[in-house]
Amino acid sequence: MMDEGSSAEAEAQRAWDGRRKLPSWRWEALRTTLWLVPTILVAVACVLFVATFAIDFAAFHHDLTLPTWIRFETGSPDAGRQVLIAIAAAVITVVGVVFSITILALTLASQQFGPRMMRNFVRDIGNQVTLGIFVATFVYSVLSLASISAPKPDFIPHLSIFVAEALSLLDLAVLIYFIHHIAKSIQLPEVIAGIARDLMHAIDAEFPERKDGSETPAPIGKGRSVEELLQLIDERGVVVPADTSGYLQFVGYAQLVDIAARTDSVIRLNHRPGHFIVAGRPLATVWPGGAAGQVALALSKAHVTGRHRTLMQDPVFAIDQLVEIAIRALSPAVNDTFTALTCIDWLSAGLSRVSGRNLKEAVYRDRFGRVRLIDFDPSYARMVNRAFDKVRQAARGMPAVIIRMIDALINIMDQTLSAEQRRILARQAEMIFRSAQESVPEADDREDIEIRYRRLLSVVALDAQ
């Protein structure tokens, strides 16, 4: 009995350690900016200038001769100035072009893919590095230009001019890469695949795969069960209200477990990341009630709310992005069926992955195995409905899209772990089939849809056996 409890506790601790390794919401917020990477590269350019200037000054002061491949025989300080002025002028002109192309890409993304896609383009590391390299080259050239004749009238920073020339060649390569990158990144298949990749990463981070495929057993002899605690929270718990309104972007599970352990309390959360929170409405419930004050303070620090949703701890947001592109493609103004089919394929891949994961792990324990935090249960039905409901409603009368949705449900069903998951998928397929019967006028099309639907029902019947 002791060994079984110890192994369960160790398994629970490993699962909790995985939660601690999630990237910080602060890093995610910094990634979605156009100033962080350019600022870092400008700082690197300043450090590089200090180093090259020190070498140039030492060589000039001690009358040392730099290697021939570094020395540029400009003839005079004025010639060196002309070289650096030309580099700085060319680079700042290209910076303006790069900014214009970036803004154009953001505008196109907002109009064609939806306003929520803009954050994906802003957080693109390729765009950020391109802007940073050009701005850093300009800053380095200006600093080198100011250093000419600074110590003495005949001082020429040969090494600094050489580095500026090398950076200008690097800028040329970066410009070619940037044009290729923008032309590639605004293509719909690339945008959809990028969102799907974010969905897969979010699923892996939020619902890690268990190697043995089994659920984590509850530690034995470690206080009250989850069912008992839920009953006590419902009967005697104290509600902690939210202090701000906005979308819940991040939950610091580790901080909440620590404060619950220190106050010997249990916290039940009423929301998951991605939910909209209204100030004054219940955010969590605490038992015993005496710890509510300290828990409320911890919640204000552990919960991060904002004006928009993010992918941090919220895989459903990526599902919503794919759905948004699909229903835009199915609108009469666009009528792009193949884009909708691509979105359905990637939604099928994401739901197939999440179908093989354990979504019931919403209980967090302290290092002694006692339950300290009960999270809002992640819902498989919510994910499936968010993926198919709006697409089904927009695809009325479109046999190709309806058939692809049923095929996607069949593929997802092959990866399910429980009869409850298959029931949820079968319910969605039934709604799709009823919609097709009502909206598809062609009898042969309805027959093709019915063949797919019967195939799905046969899979459900086979699993029931």
pLDDT higher at 395 or 308: 395
Which residue type occupies 326? A
Distance of CA 69 to the CA centre of its chain: 46
Beta bridge mates, 284: 240, 269
Q: 103 to each of 123, 132, 140, 153, 416, how far by Cα in Å?
A: 13, 16, 25, 44, 43
Q: Mean pLDDT highest for which of 223-237, 306-320, 437-451? A: 437-451
Cα(4)–Cα(220) distance, integer angstroms: 8
53-83, pLDDT tens digit by residue?
998 888 877 766 666 656 555 567 888 889 9
Q: Which of 16-25, 34-43, 200-209, 269-278 has the lowest mean pLDDT?
A: 16-25
Residue 22 or residue 412, greater confidence: 412
Q: What is the average per-residue pLDDT within 398-419?
A: 93
Task: Note the pLDDT of residue 218.
Answer: 46
More confident residue, 149 or 265: 265
Q: For residue 334, is pLDDT > 70? A: yes
pLDDT at 159 over 80: yes
pLDDT at 214: 46
Of 64-68, 264-268, 416-420, 443-447, give the lowest mean pLDDT range: 64-68
Check residue 49 and give its pLDDT. Answer: 95
Task: Assess whether pLDDT exceeds 90 at residue 434.
Answer: yes
pLDDT per residue as tens digits for the range 352-397: 999 888 776 578 888 888 888 888 777 888 899 999 999 999 999 9
Query: What pLDDT is recorded for position 216?
Result: 46
Residues 81, 59: Cα–Cα separation, whole Å: 19
Instruction: Evaluate if residue 84 carries a pLDDT over 50.
Output: yes
- 5 pLDDT band, cuts 50/70/90, is very low
**Mean pLDDT, the chain, as a whole number?**
83
pLDDT for residue 92: 93
Question: What is the model's pLDDT at position 378?
Answer: 74
Q: What is the pLDDT of residue 37?
A: 92
Distance CA 348, CA 204 (A): 16
pLDDT at 67: 64
Residues 414-424 have pLDDT tens digits of: 888 888 889 99
Taking alpha carbons only, the member of 134, 151, 131, 162 closest to residue 49 is 162
Q: Over pLDDT 70: what percentage of the chain?
A: 86
Q: What is the pLDDT of residue 172?
A: 94
- pLDDT mean over 222-232: 78
The domain segmentation of the chain, as residue ranges, is 32-186, 312-358+376-464
The residue ranking higher by pLDDT, 378 or 136, is: 136
| Pair 197, 350: CB distance under 8 Å | no
Question: How would you classify the pairing of strands 266-269 and 371-374?
Answer: parallel
Asked if residues 295 and 259 have their Cβ atoms less than 8 Å apart, the reply is yes
For residue 71, the SS3 value is coil
pLDDT(200) > 60: yes
- pTM summary value: 0.80
DSSP assigned state of 245:
-
**pLDDT given at position 220:** 41
Integer Cα distance of 184 and 186 in angstroms: 6
Q: What is the pLDDT of residue 342?
A: 95
Q: Tell me the C-alpha to C-alpha distance, in Å, between residue 77 and each of 82, 192, 413.
A: 9, 54, 74
Mean pLDDT lowest for which of 28-42, 127-141, 416-430?
A: 28-42
Tell me how far apart the alpha carbons of residues 233 and 226 are, in angstroms, rounded to a whole number. Answer: 10
